[in-house]
Amino acid sequence: MIEERIHRFELKKSRGISYRETGKGRALLLMHGIGASSASWLYQLEGLKGYRLIAWDAPGYGESEFLPRDEPLAADYAAALREFVDSLLLKDIVLVASSLGGLMAGAYARLQPERVRAVMMISPAGGRGGDRAFLQERLKQFDDLGPEGLAEQRSPTMLGSKAQPDALELVRWSQRRVRARGYRQATHALAYSRLVDDARFFPKPVLVVCGTEDKITPEDGCKAIARAYPSGQYRALPGLGHVAHLEDPAQLNPLIADFAG
């Protein structure tokens, strides 16, 4: 059962941030998307060996504290991540970020480039740069459906045709546990931030990957994000959807390891 497997990696907490951790070696900080949590990295926590894996719950997710601002930007999440990274005495880390986690990772890499060795983004959300209509639409959808409704209706759209049978269960597990205030804060950051604005400030290696069946953040947008980075590269993932790391960990885990070095 998915829940039993998730609970093998107990939640810890530091500086108001909850997280799951396993392994030893170079630190890989795993950053989830808007409807997910640290648990969405289950297949990496289980199968990606040779690294110290730290999967955070972004502010307002899991048992992490909310951000003080009700209308934050990606930079506010980066500031919270800076405190978290400092509290764990992490240096020379590799960020591995999915969807909205990419927006947060980009902001942090700009804020503290000296701490970041490289960034891998899986179907990153590029942000909308001040799209109020988008914000209102997404918040209305959440108010109408709630976490349970989103889990049932939105989760299947995140997966491609190669998804493992239990991938949908894992996506829904996190969606059902989304906290309203945390989701509203994250949605504001998504609506009012832009990843490409941070890109030129980070010259180190960046790999952007995207499933060819991704309906949430399609390839064209992900390619543009890769081009915005001075050392950005792009790679397509045939047959995969928006959450490739849990759809096909047999492909993604070696890809993460190859990039992280």
Instruction: Spell out the domain ranges in the chain.
Output: 2-260
Predicted local confidence at residue 254, as pLDDT: 98
What are the tens digits of pLDDT across the range 111-131? 999 999 999 999 999 999 999
Q: Which CATH number fits domain 2-260: 3.40.30.110, 3.40.50.1820, 3.40.50.720, 3.40.50.1220?
A: 3.40.50.1820
Output the six-digit token pair for 169.
């269960």
Containing H/E element for 52? strand 51-56
Q: What is the mean pLDDT of residues 150-178?
A: 90
Contacts for 240 with CB less than 8 Å, ≥ 6 apart: 160, 162, 163, 211, 212, 213, 214, 247, 248, 251
Q: Which of 139-148, 163-172, 231-240, 246-255 has the lowest mean pLDDT?
A: 163-172
Helix axes 180-192, 74-87, angle to 10 degrees: 120
Q: Which of 69-73, 81-85, 166-170, 209-213 has the lowest mean pLDDT?
A: 166-170
